[in-house]
A and B are shown apart, each in its own frame.
Chain A
Amino acid sequence: MSPEAIPPTRRAVLRAGACGLLGAAAGGCGFMPAKTPDADQLAPVRARVDGDLVYFNWADFVDPSVFKGFEKEYGVKVVQSNFDSMEGMVAKLNAGNRYDIVFPTAKWAQRLVRGGRLRRIDRSQLDNAQAVFGTYDYFADPWYDPGSAHTVPFTAYKTGIGWRRDRIGDLTDSWRDLWSNRAKGKVFLLDDRDEVLGMGALALGLDVSTGDSGDLDRITSLLGTLRPRLRGFSSDSYNNLLNGNALIQQAWSGDMAAMLNQAENPDVFGFQAPKEGTAINSDCYAIPWNAPHPGTAMLFIDYMLRPENVKKNIEYIGYPMPVAGTEKIYADLVEPFPECLVTEADLKADLFFRNGGRAAEEARDAAWTHVKAG
């Protein structure tokens, strides 16, 4: 190589590198302290077709025939994409991806509302809203979204214990059943920080969302006694029970109800919502501040709330929905596991996972690391 040729080469390569770094720095701007959007300033939209529906939810959370019906009735397409965690969903929203409708859990709905990222929803635009808010007082003014100004509830579920009745018989309706000697070495906990710490808190009679270091120490040492009996942390409760890896598994009610649909003989399984209390969770419909077609999203929410569509979805995913007149459908579905039902009293017990401050969240995170890594 000739000596004169070297300088331009190196310079050009450096220049190219600098361009690349600039591009990445632009990508990193998402991490700058930025002014939060304020969706509250946006007027609620009318329910009318203003384009195709860009839909963002867990996979398999709506009966496909409901989508087909919606597409046919309103002459629009449903453009689907899925997330695999709340964190993933919010990261995409924060990165500026635009969706018409998202399905945050209560805790995340509160974060999004506080962050000014959800549009207000005018209930008078929804023909079927009365079936929700007229009957379920709780959701008329939930803790995560005062007055349900930005959200409409979608499903509600609780956390309990699923077990193999055929292998270990009956349990005692307590979280302490997880320590049962009959199941030693075949116990799974959900791979979920809040659920595991919340279970420890309930067993000790503490607040499920506690961020207090004294409380968390007590929870960690209690769970330390469970750890040697554990087989693992896994949220695949359904398969763990089915393939025999788990005799006892901390599980979400909806997953157990879905299992009833599949199991040849439901009698071999049991599900209990322990007497110390069970964590309650719910998720909801929400329209992001930058939704390209909020009018279609309003139509979609209303369509999903029609009794015939609620019925299809309940049967498809196994989660109850707080819509008046559909309670019987769910009760029939979970007849072998009546404890899957989420009643108004369950909701009012208020064992929801709340958002803590930064210090509390970090303390919970550290406690979870100790529970998980020993």
Chain B
Amino acid sequence: MALPRPFTRGRRDTSGNRMWVWLMLPGTLWMTGFLIASLVLVAVLAVGTTDELGNPRFGFDLAGVRALADPAYTEVMARSLGYALLTCLICLLIAYPVAYTIALHGGRYKHALIAAIVVPFFANYLVRMYGWSVVLSDDGPVLRTLRAVGLADGGTKILNSGLGVVAGLVYGFVVFMIIPLYAALERLDVSLIEAGRDLYGGPVRTFFFVTLPATRQGAAAGLVLVFLPAMGDFVSAQLMGGPDQIMIGNLIQDKFFQGQNWPLGSALTMLLMLVLLIGMLGYLRRTRKDEAEARR
């Protein structure tokens, strides 16, 4: 490839740009075709209708959107939001020490340790959750052992509780928090920490005033990566939850399958996306502020 020649404005320069157009083409097609267009479809179906066979049809009918006013949806949405935020917090508390230890004290085992964290995630999330639901069942190995040593009685259960659902979400998505944090800590200039210590900062003060702010962007990226899938998840609530742990993802799935009410399902999806978008905007504002500070 030719070196960039910023001072000439000849034909070569334009053709160089043409190449970028061609390179961008597959990605643009892919994104518009499969992401934006499918979003448009969902948005249009939200005001659509169904035929007598229950098949979704384009049209204009606000029944799906009006049905959102039902307090059941607000309640489930609020619960999902709570679970997702709690999941983010727990993931952060688990992931930070893990990423910190690997990045700063992993030495030559660093890459092996990161691989060890990532490898279990090669197996499908659904399959692993099915596994957990068997392991944690009432007559499963965990509770049987706990009962045998007297730490649980016949009424103790792990599955079908809010704790079970959040544990499932944390287990499913914690790796999305570890990786960006690890990347941020990896890049961290260790001399900054040393400088903090030289300026008479104790280990705790140095951590909170030097290390943590320096890796804030990694944490923010991790929070977004965990929050988005956790909020829309339905597997954990399905397999680890009970009737009081239904999440918005379960309801949306129901509308598209058993309910055969695609318009309402689409309207619920749009509502969920709105909530996610608000979270995303918060993240974008934060990073823009950080960038502005960095430029100063």
Contacts and interface: CB of A to CB of B under 8 A. Distances in A.
Interface stretch (A2-10, A70-78, A125-133): A2-10
Contact of B70 (A115, A244, A366, A374): A366
B243 interface: yes
Interface string A1-25: 1101100110011001111110111
Given A4-B14, A31-B45, A374-B243, A369 B36 contact: no
Interface residues of B, number: 66
B56 A232 contact: no
A114 B9 CA distance: 68
Interface string B241-258: 111101000110011111
B70 A114 contact: no
Interface string A209-244: 000000000000000000100111100000100011
Interface string B5-40: 000010001100110110011001111111011101
Interface stretch (A53-61, A200-208, A357-365): A357-365
A358 B70 CA distance: 19
A230 B245 CA distance: 12
Given A2-B17, A33-B51, A233 B32 contact: no
A28 B41 CA distance: 7
Contacts of A344: none
Contacts of A174: none
A193 B137 contact: no
B7 to A, nearest CB: 11
B63 interface: yes
Given A243-B134, A358-B50, A31 B29 contact: no
Contacts of B70: 366, 369
B55 A358 contact: no
23 contacts: A2-B9, A4-B14, A5-B14, A8-B14, A9-B17, A16-B28, A20-B36, A21-B37, A24-B37, A31-B55, A94-B55, A114-B53, A231-B243, A232-B242, A232-B243, A244-B137, A244-B138, A361-B261, A368-B258, A369-B251, A373-B73, A373-B76, A373-B251
The 8 residue pairs across chains A and B that have the minimum distance between CB atoms: A24-B37, A20-B32, A244-B139, A20-B33, A243-B137, A5-B17, A244-B138, A17-B32
Interface of B: 9, 13-14, 17-18, 20-21, 24-25, 28-34, 36-38, 40-41, 44-45, 48, 50-59, 63, 67, 70, 72-73, 75-76, 134, 137-140, 155, 157, 159-160, 241-244, 246, 250-251, 254-261, 264
Interface of A: 1-2, 4-5, 8-9, 12-13, 16-21, 23-25, 27-28, 31-33, 85, 87-88, 90, 94, 111, 114-115, 185-186, 192-193, 227, 230-233, 239, 243-245, 357-358, 361-362, 365-366, 368-370, 372-374
